[in-house]
Amino acid sequence: MDIHPDIERVIVSQQVIQARINELAAQISADYAENGQLVVVGILKGAFIFLSDLTRRLTVPHRVDFMALSSYGQTATTSGAVRIIMDLRVNVEARHVLVVEDIVDTGYTLHYLLNVLRTRNPASLRSCVLLSKPDRRKVDIPIDYVGFEIPDVWVVGYGLDYAETHRTLPYIGMLKPEVYK
Ligand code: PRP
């Protein structure tokens, strides 16, 4: 496979991503087998590809909805620095909610989001993230399903971007430092 010239090395290959999503989808389908009304909430933009692959492999009934969040400035420094720029269309009260994110870095975004959704009285609230950077965590948050733990390097592809580029690469790649310096 050709690697994009901006990519230093592949962190998680297309094949490994797809195999892990099969496992996650099977696990989630088993865990929700007895529950009705699952709402899968994708967080734009980064989660759109992961969400698409994951939900098409779920064997339990589910709805898909989206939220978009934004941090003030380049990085969130407090949980209050995150805001909702597009909200859900469905009412999640008394429904089982699974939040799907591409990556958890500091944790501020997911921390904020879970707090907001909890106030809407879902029947249950869980999170599924493709990538986690444990070394970067600033706030301790529960993550129920994790695809991969990765080191603290700048990654793009499979939904993740650098300045809105490289989101549609089929693998997770480490960006060459000269691209962002
Ligand atoms: C990314 C990612 C998470 C958040 C994680 O979103 O999708 O939402 O950052 O970072 P944190 O754990 O430090 O809060 P980004 O703001 O890059 O937007 P995007 O999904 O539209 O690319």
Testing ligand 1's pocket by substitution, the residue of 102, 127, 130, 140 carrying the most ligand atoms inside 8 A of its CB is 102
Q: Is residue 26 part of a domain?
A: yes
In a domain, 29, yes or no: yes
The CATH number linked to 112 is 3.40.50.2020
Tell me the whole-structure pTM to 2 decimals.
0.94
Task: Give me the pLDDT at residue 73, please.
Answer: 53
The predicted pLDDT at position 15 comes to 98
Is the predicted pLDDT of residue 9 greater than 50, yes or no?
yes
Domain enclosing residue 79, as ranges: 14-152
Judge residue 6's burial from the number of C-beta atoms within 10 Å of its C-beta, 0-12 exposed, 13-18 middle, 19 or more buried. Answer: middle
Give distance in angstroms: CA of 29 to centre of ligand 1.
26
Is 96 part of any domain?
yes
For the chain, the domain total comes to 1
Tell me the pLDDT tens digit for each residue of 162-174: 999 999 999 999 9
Asked if the structure places residue 165 within a domain, the reply is: no
C-alpha 181 – ligand 1 centre gap (Å): 20
What pLDDT, on the 0 to 100 scale, is given for residue 76? 45
In a domain, 133, yes or no: yes
pLDDT at 130 over 60: yes
Least confident range from 27-41, 47-61, 62-76, 79-93: namely 62-76
Point out the ligand 1 atom lying closest to the alpha carbon of residue 108: 14
